[in-house]
Amino acid sequence: MRDPNQAHDPKALNVGEMIMTKTTRTDVYTRVTQAIIAALEQGVRPWMKPWSAGSAATRIILPVRHNDEPYRGINVLLLWSEAIDKGYRSAKWMTYRQAAELGGQVRRGESGCHVVYANTISTKRIDDDGTVDQRDVYLLRAYTVFNTDQIDGLAIQVPDHEDPTRAKLPLIDAAERFFSATGATVRHGGNEAYYAEGADFVQLPYPEAFKDAESYASTKAHELTHWTKHRSRLNRDLGRKHFGDEGYSREELVAELGAAFLCATLGITLQPREDHAAYMGHWLKVLHGDKRAIFSAAAHAQRAVDFLHRSDPALVCHEPAGVGESIA
């Protein structure tokens, strides 16, 4: 990956100071503006709240480069906004090449954040009357950096800027032992919960972002039900082609029921997630269109829960997966 930051240290960027070509303006300013607008449309003002959302807040700190030099200007807003969106605790950022030179490796599937830097070049123009017009021109360019939370194996000490006064959420020991025994890779950070099938891991916000331990466990149970669909496990394919389609809705219904079944066997009260209200319309559409859908979803969910319980056979439910249902 090309790393322009190796050759030149970025300068502070002040809006209106750069003289750029039309192509540069389209490629950089448009992306920067759209990134800020997107944050604002989500109700986030990156210049006022440079920390993770909710109770997982960290203290204000300027983002820094691999050599601890602080970023300046528009780059501060861009990196603050990215940190808020992804929930990164580290304030340190670096390019792919810089990470490799420090013994690190950006994890597969991670996406970086665009930042910008300006070079100054001097130009001369001789007018018709022989007058020499000399001026400095600022050329704006973009490159990609990654947060150290996205990088494994760095041969440097990365300080954790998490607020040490934040109270840790006491988790449910029995549930955590069970979840750990499944062998699933669970990562923490950001403000979203999901299962990344390609990279095969579950992503959750930090426990302190949840209102209580049961909410955290319920969400983990939901995502672990998704985790069972991987081709190396149950190979469950309900026909999803894109986000929000019928196959997606069917899989979400399986995960919802799987979480309910799993929480019941673990003695946990299932706590509804705020985003599940958004799925209800999709679920109703599926159920209205297929009277067998709820039976099929329950059968898939039971099979998923049995798979998760394979590390503790005493808790596996041996009831039939469904009445007259084929879940192949």
Q: What's the one-letter identity of residue 96?
A: Y
Q: Are residues 183 and 145 in the same domain?
A: no
Closest CA to 297 of 325, 269, 273: 325
Q: Are residues 119 and 203 in the same domain?
A: no
Tokens standing for residue 120: 């100054």
User: In 10 A of CB 38, how many CB atoms?
Assistant: 12
Q: Which spans in the chain are helix H?
A: 22-24, 30-41, 74-86, 96-101, 173-181, 213-227, 246-266, 276-289, 293-308
- The residue whose two tokens read 């750029």 is 20
Backbone Cα Rg of the chain: 25
Could you tell me if residue 115 is inside a domain? yes
Q: Are residues 91 and 134 in the same domain?
A: yes
Contact 51, 60 (CB under 8 A): yes
Give the count of domains, the chain: 2
Q: Are residues 180 and 284 in the same domain?
A: yes
Tokens standing for residue 285: 């559409």
Could you tell me if residue 289 is inside a domain? yes
* pLDDT tens, N- to C-terminus, the chain (328 residues): 333 333 333 333 333 333 334 444 445 655 665 665 666 566 554 444 333 333 333 344 678 899 888 887 778 778 887 887 787 888 899 999 999 999 999 999 999 998 888 777 778 777 777 787 788 776 778 899 999 999 998 876 655 555 444 568 899 999 999 999 999 999 998 778 899 999 999 999 889 888 889 989 999 999 999 999 999 999 999 988 887 788 888 898 899 888 888 887 788 877 766 555 556 666 667 777 777 787 788 889 889 998 998 876 554 443 333 333 333 3
Domain that holds residue 188: 173-315
Could you tell me if residue 210 is inside a domain? yes
Alpha-carbon distance 295 to 298, whole Å? 5
Q: pTM, whole model, 2 decimals?
A: 0.54
